[in-house]
């Protein structure tokens, strides 16, 4: 009788995630003998030199940023120039807004709005009843979010726009609550200051990718920007889905995220391990989005992430999503393509890129269809 050796065949493992409003995206993660050397923490980059008058210094930080963008797609930035006084004020306003009665927040309900700007609440199923008997699916709230977008008249460098371009700025549809006092002014100041920082970061990314520093400047004069004041409730112990915000990628160029000290943000590495991205004082988290991945021919990575608020406390965060002008046609950047690595994608603008997604979001609200995920 001859002995037979059975080779165990490792099944590929996939992580399913949400991208451009669809759930059927999957990314293979590497397990067992397939594991590779990947990140196990989120790097921190001191960006003070992006403001340096010396090109050499700006190039050095650009290189550091771009290396992280390619390897991890997520980083902490320190010395970003945004004052702690403003950050504290924005968080305090967000907490005061979310603490109001639902009936008051509903005055700026996204459902009332053509472009879905405003407040909304997301919920989760919590099966109740005997384990072996009929189970009731009770929905409980897990997250509230207030969404506002770019207002061209509030830009530190107000752009010249045609009526058509102005209509593409979703901030035209912002809904502002009357309370708390000073809410709109604070949120617009935050938008202004982060716009300036984002344009500077965009120049740094251009340099790091081997382009002229000003390569993207004309494409960010009236950028597609959205800001969400996220308010995560403590996750219900019986919640059917443990995610406060399901695994997803962001679809814009990059996101500047401000989080409180609660924790819960997790970033997927190539080996399928979710790496925590806890709060680090005086830093922001910056992650790259799908549109930048596309125009860099996949050189920069848009990394999957999720939020699980298992702290038992409320959590607040503020993602600032930054992208190009809605009507800027962007192809693969010449320095990211070559004869041996031709451009994989043709030119596309944000308006086209997000059209189907925005239509789906509207369908979801008008038909009450549930995707079980919170769109950005």
Ligand X SMILES: O=C(O)CCC(=O)C(=O)O
Contact residues toward ligand X (CB under 6 A) are 228, 230, 245, 250, 257, 259, 265, 305, 307, 317, 319, 376
Shortest Cβ distance from residue 266 to ligand X (Å)?
9
Q: Which of 117, 306 has the CB closer to Fe ion?
A: 306
Least CB distance from residue 229 to Fe ion, whole Å? 14
250 vs 293 by CB, closer to Fe ion? 250
Peptide linkage before 180 cis (omega within 30 of 0): yes
Select the span of 36-44, 242-250, 268-276, 331-339 touching Fe ion (CB under 5 A). Answer: 242-250
Task: Work out how close the CB of 132 gets to ligand X at its nearest, in angstroms, rounded to a whole number.
Answer: 37
Least distance between ligand X and beta carbon 244 (Å): 8
What is each CA distance from 331 to 186, 250, 266, in whole angstroms? 36, 19, 31
DSSP string computed for 154-197 = GSSSPPP--HHHHHH-GGGG----S-STTHHHHHHHHHHHHHHH
> Is the Cβ of residue 64 or residue 121 nearer to ligand X in the bound state?
121
250: contact with Fe ion by CB under 5 A = yes
Shortest approach of ligand X to residue 255 CB, angstroms? Answer: 6
Nearer to Fe ion, 169 or 265 (CB): 265
Residue 252 binds which entry of ligand X, Fe ion, none, with Cβ cut-offs from 5 to 8 Å by kind? none
Nearest to 54 by CA among 205, 197, 207: 207
Q: What does 221 bind: Fe ion, ligand X, none (CB cut-off 5 to 8 Å by kind)?
A: none
Q: Which does 207 bind (CB under 5 to 8 A by kind): Fe ion, ligand X, none?
A: none
298: left (phi over 0), alpha (psi -120 to 50) or beta: left
Q: How far is the CB of 142 from Fe ion (least distance, A)?
A: 16
Taking CB within 5 to 8 Å according to partner kind, which of ligand X, Fe ion, none is near residue 90? none
Q: Judge contact between 268 and 37, C-beta under 8 A.
A: no
Question: What sign results for the dihedral spanned by CA atoms 170, 176, 180, 186?
Answer: positive
Is the distance from CB of 276 to CB of 308 less than 8 angstroms?
A: no
Residue pair 256/51 in contact by the 8 Å Cβ criterion: no
- By C-beta, is 204 or 376 nearer to Fe ion? 376
Q: For Fe ion, which residue has the nearest CB?
A: 250
Q: Is 374 in the site for Fe ion (CB under 5 A)?
A: no
- Which of ligand X, Fe ion, none does residue 120 bind to, with CB < 5 to 8 Å depending on kind? none
Phi then psi dihedrals of residue 147, to 5 deg? -115, 130
Q: How far is the CB of 21 from ligand X (least distance, A)?
A: 13
> Which of 205, 286 has the CB closer to Fe ion?
286
Residue number with CB closer to ligand X (51 or 279)? 279
Half-sphere exposure of 115 (CA within 13 A, CB side): 17
Q: Are 225 and 131 in contact (CB under 8 A)?
A: no
Other Cβ atoms closer than 10 A to 338: 10
Residue of minimal CB distance from ligand X?
317
Residue 24's Cβ-count burial label (10 Å; 0-12, 13-18, 19+) is exposed
Q: What are phi and psi of 128, to 5 degrees?
A: -120, 160
Using the minimum distance from each CB to Fe ion, give the nearer residue, 126 or 243: 243
266 touching Fe ion, by CB under 5 A = no
CB of 361 to Fe ion, least distance (A): 15
Alpha-carbon distance of 5 to 110, in angstroms, equals 61
Residues lying near Fe ion in the complex (CB under 5 A) are found at 250
């Amino acid at each position: 009788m001859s002995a037979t050796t059975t080779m165990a065949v490792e099944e590929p493992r996939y992580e399913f995630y949400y991208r451009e409003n669809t759930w059927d995206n999957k990314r293979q993660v590497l397990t067992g003998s397939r594991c590779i050397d990947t990140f196990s923490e989120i790097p921190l980059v001191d960006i003070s030199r992006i403001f340096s008058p010396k090109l050499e210094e700006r190039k050095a930080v650009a290189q550091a940023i771009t290396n992280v963008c390619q390897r991890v797609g997520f980083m902490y930035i320190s010395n970003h120039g945004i004052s702690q006084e403003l950050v504290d004020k924005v968080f305090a306003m967000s907490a005061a807004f979310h603490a109001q009665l639902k009936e008051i927040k509903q005055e700026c309900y996204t459902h009332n709005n053509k472009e879905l700007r405003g407040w909304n609440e997301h919920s989760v199923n919590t099966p109740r009843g005997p384990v072996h008997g009929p189970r009731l699916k009770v929905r409980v709230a897990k997250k509230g979010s207030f969404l506002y977008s770019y207002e061209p008249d509030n830009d530190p460098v107000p752009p010249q726009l045609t009526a058509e371009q102005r209509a593409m700025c979703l901030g035209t549809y912002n809904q502002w609550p009357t309370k708390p006092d000073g809410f709109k002014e604070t949120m617009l100041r935050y938008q202004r200051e982060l716009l300036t920082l984002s344009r500077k970061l965009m120049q740094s990314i251009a340099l790091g990718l081997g382009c002229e520093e000003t390569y993207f400047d004309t494409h960010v004069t009236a950028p597609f920007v959205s800001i969400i004041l996220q308010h995560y409730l403590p996750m219900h112990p019986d919640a059917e889905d443990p995610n406060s915000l399901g695994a997803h990628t962001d679809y814009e160029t990059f996101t500047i995220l401000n989080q409180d000290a609660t924790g819960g943000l997790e970033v997927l590495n190539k080996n399928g391990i979710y790496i925590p991205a806890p709060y680090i004082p005086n830093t922001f988290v910056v992650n790259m989005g799908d549109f930048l991945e596309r125009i860099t021919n996949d050189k920069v990575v848009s990394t999957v992430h999720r939020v699980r608020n298992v702290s038992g406390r409320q959590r607040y965060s503020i993602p600032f999503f930054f992208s190009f002008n809605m009507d800027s046609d962007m192809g693969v950047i010449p320095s990211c393509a070559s004869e041996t690595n031709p451009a994989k994608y043709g030119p596309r603008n944000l308006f086209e890129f997000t059209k189907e997604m925005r239509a789906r979001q509207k369908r979801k609200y008008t038909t009450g269809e549930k995707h079980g995920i919170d769109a950005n």
